[in-house]
């Protein structure tokens, strides 16, 4: 699971600058979830091969009287969501009483944090750092966010303390299909979770174990075991206080990463909105099995239905491998059919693939449509074998493989999907040079 890092500190210490530095190399992942994240911005970042999520909080002074409470609340939620906190201070401004208040605050909440002394450009670093010893933090780094100085080595050391955890919640059944139910607020996730669990043929096991993230609920249906990853927190014992806490992007991203198959719930009354597209983008990037559920299909007029279907066709072409179901979680219509697609996506995503079959398909694809010439020499693709599951990864060996165009890679991915009759999962093809 990806570690989550929150940036906190007084206004103007350089949080946004650092956020931009860290996320620059990546496409913006989760943009504006309006209303819910007023002062939180989420991005996905990568150092080497280690991905992490970074949250930019609007600002928290630690001085409860001096700040907008709503803003503080938002920052506190972000701190709770995070695995590590980077507490930024300004080397130019020196130690500020608000920094001390914030340090106390973080200690009270028992959060492990790192002190990041920013804006050390043009300053004597050890002198700049010594100013902040009074905060009593051992883990201290000097950086210049706007120049990128010290940023990489700092983040590497921070991440080294948070090795990605094994995604194995206690309640989880062996051999079960992990299904995450995700979607924007109010699309009907809670209603759907209750519906799925309330079905006659479903046997729900133990009380779900609570984790900080989502609720994991084990059950069995027609001899198949499932673990439902409930991001809506339906079965959480304590009622959650705030809607901002009920819906959490981090929780959603983690649920997607931890699932075999994601059911992305959308609201027919609202059509496809940007936030749906962002979540979909993350599902695809994570390579998870995918089932689309357009909910609240009850009460949608016939012409509206046609319009929604054509919108989906037009805008979801890049996810056309996913089954789409039009359901009513409220009335239970279509809900049983979701299982068929979930099972099919799981089977495709985890199927064992033989070197023989993969190589035969490769030969057919190359025969139908050979790869291009590069500097007068044809790219030669010789054989293929399986490289991983969920998503299925197919490794193709040959000559000049570094020069295979992206369009040809996509062509092979499509051929494999078609020939192997994969449903509900993306397929990835990678190339390796040599025999
Ligand atoms: P935030 O309010 O904490 O998000 O702070 P910003 O990222 O908006 O930065 C506040 C100001 O500090 C901006 O004018 C930045 O250009 C400046 N700044 C940020 N990082 C550095 C740095 O490493 N060195 C210097 N000299 N200025 C910086
Ligand atoms: P969540 O925030 O995604 O968990 O959404 P909820 O399950 O709490 O549902 C939000 C609202 O939509 C509630 O008022 C539900 O009763 C309503 N709702 C959920 N599913 C359906 C449905 O299939 N049809 C209709 N008409 N309303 C629904």
Q: Is the pLDDT of residue 236 over 80?
A: no
Contacts of 412 (CB under 8 A, 6+ apart): 362, 365, 394, 396, 429
Q: Is the pLDDT of residue 417 over 60?
A: yes
Residue of 6, 10, 12 to mutate, ligand 1, most atoms within 8 A of C-beta: 12
pLDDT at 187: 93
pLDDT at 240: 43
In 65-147, DSSP assigns E strands to 84-90, 113-118, 140-142
pLDDT at 353: 92
Q: What is the DSSP letter of 289?
A: E
Tell me which of 100 and 43 has the higher pLDDT. 100
Chain centroid offset of residue 301 CA = 34
Q: What is the dihedral of CA 369, 414, 427, 290, to 10 degrees?
A: 180
What does the pLDDT average to over 221-238?
78
Alpha carbons 31 and 42: distance in angstroms, whole number: 7
Which atom of ligand 1 has the smallest separation from the CA of 56? Answer: 4
Q: How far does the centroid of ligand 1 lie from the alpha carbon of residue 17, in Å? A: 6
pLDDT at 35: 39
Q: Please report which confidence band the pLDDT of residue 285 belongs to, taking 50, 70 and 90 as the band edges.
A: confident
What does the pLDDT average to over 109-125?
91
Contacts of 236 (CB under 8 A, 6+ apart): 210, 215
Angle, helix 15-23 to helix 151-160, in steps of 10 degrees: 80
pTM for the whole structure: 0.71
DSSP 361-422: HHHHHHHHSPPPEETTEE-EEEEEEEEETTTTEEEEEEESGGG--HHHHHHHHHHHHHHTT-
pLDDT at 235: 55
Alpha carbons 9 and 24: distance in angstroms, whole number: 21
Q: Is the pLDDT of residue 120 over 60?
A: yes
- Token pair 């972000």 is at which residue? 78
Contact 86, 118 (CB under 8 A): no
Q: What is the dihedral of CA 348, 353, 356, 361, to 10 degrees?
A: 30
The count of residues in the chain is: 435
Q: Is 145 in the pocket of ligand 1 (CB under 6 A)?
A: yes
Contacts of 387 (CB under 8 A, 6+ apart): 393, 394, 395, 430
Among the listed ranges 85-89, 212-216, 297-301, which one has the minimum average pLDDT value?
212-216
Which atom of ligand 2 has the smallest separation from the CA of 333? Answer: 23
214: closest CA among 177, 245, 174, 175?
245
Q: Model confidence over 174-219: pLDDT tens digits?
A: 679 999 999 988 899 989 999 998 887 788 776 555 455 678 888 8
| Atom 11 of ligand 2: nearest residue by CA position | 186
| Atom 19 of ligand 2: nearest residue by CA position | 188
| Atom 27 of ligand 1: nearest residue by CA position | 119
Which atom of ligand 1 has the smallest separation from the CA of 122? Answer: 26
Among the listed ranges 92-106, 194-208, 260-274, 342-356, which one has the minimum average pLDDT value?
194-208
Mean pLDDT of the chain: 84
Residue of 10, 13, 17, 92 to mutate, ligand 1, most atoms within 8 A of C-beta: 17
| Atom 10 of ligand 1: nearest residue by CA position | 12
Q: What is the dihedral of CA 183, 184, 188, 194, to 10 degrees?
A: 50
What does the pLDDT average to over 273-284?
88
Q: Model confidence over 17-76: pLDDT tens digits?
A: 999 888 875 544 444 443 344 456 777 787 777 778 888 876 554 454 544 455 566 667
């Amino acid at each position: 699971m990806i570690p989550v890092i929150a940036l906190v500190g007084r206004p103007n210490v350089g949080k946004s600058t650092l956020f931009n530095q860290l996320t620059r190399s990546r496409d913006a992942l989760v943009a504006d979830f309006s209303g819910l994240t007023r002062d939180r911005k989420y991005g996905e970042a990568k150092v080497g091969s280690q991905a992490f999520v970074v949250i930019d909080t609007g600002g928290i002074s630690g001085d409860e009287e001096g700040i907008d409470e709503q803003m503080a609340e938002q920052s506190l939620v972000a701190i709770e969501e995070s695995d590590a906190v980077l507490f930024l201070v300004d080397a130019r401004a020196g130690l500020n009483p608000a920094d001390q208040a914030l340090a106390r605050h973080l200690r009270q909440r028992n959060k492990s944090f790192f002190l990041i002394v920013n804006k050390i450009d043009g300053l004597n670093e050890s002198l700049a750092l010594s100013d902040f010893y009074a905060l009593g933090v051992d883990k201290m780094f000097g950086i210049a966010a706007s120049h990128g100085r010290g940023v990489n080595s700092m983040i590497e050391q921070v991440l080294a303390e948070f090795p990605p955890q094994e995604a194995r919640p206690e309640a989880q059944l062996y051999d079960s299909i992990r299904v995450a139910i995700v979607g924007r607020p109010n699309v009907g996730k809670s209603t759907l979770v209750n519906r799925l669990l309330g079905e006659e043929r479903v046997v729900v096991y133990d009380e779900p174990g609570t984790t900080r993230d989502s609720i994991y609920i084990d059950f069995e249906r027609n001899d198949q075991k499932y673990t439902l990853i409930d991001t809506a927190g339906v079965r959480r014992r304590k009622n959650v206080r705030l809607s901002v806490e009920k819906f959490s992007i981090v929780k959603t991203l983690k649920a997607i990463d931890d699932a075999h198959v994601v059911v992305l719930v959308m609201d027919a009354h609202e059509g496809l909105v940007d936030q749906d597209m962002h979540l979909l983008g993350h599902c695809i990037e994570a390579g998870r099995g995918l089932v689309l559920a357009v909910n609240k299909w009850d009460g949608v007029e016939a012409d509206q239905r046609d319009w929604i279907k054509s919108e989906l066709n037009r805008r979801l072409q890049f996810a056309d491998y996913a089954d789409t179901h039009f359901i009513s979680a409220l009335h239970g219509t279509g809900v049983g059919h979701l299982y068929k697609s979930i099972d099919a996506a799981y089977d495709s995503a985890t199927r064992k693939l033989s070197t023989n079959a993969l190589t035969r398909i490769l030969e057919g694809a190359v025969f139908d449509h050979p790869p291009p010439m590069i500097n007068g020499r044809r790219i030669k693709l010789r054989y293929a074998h399986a490289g991983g599951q969920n998503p299925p990864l197919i490794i193709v060996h040959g000559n000049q493989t570094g020069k295979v165009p992206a369009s040809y890679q996509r062509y092979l991915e499509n051929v494999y999907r078609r020939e192997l009759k994969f449903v509900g999962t993306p397929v990835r093809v990678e190339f390796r040079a040599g025999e």
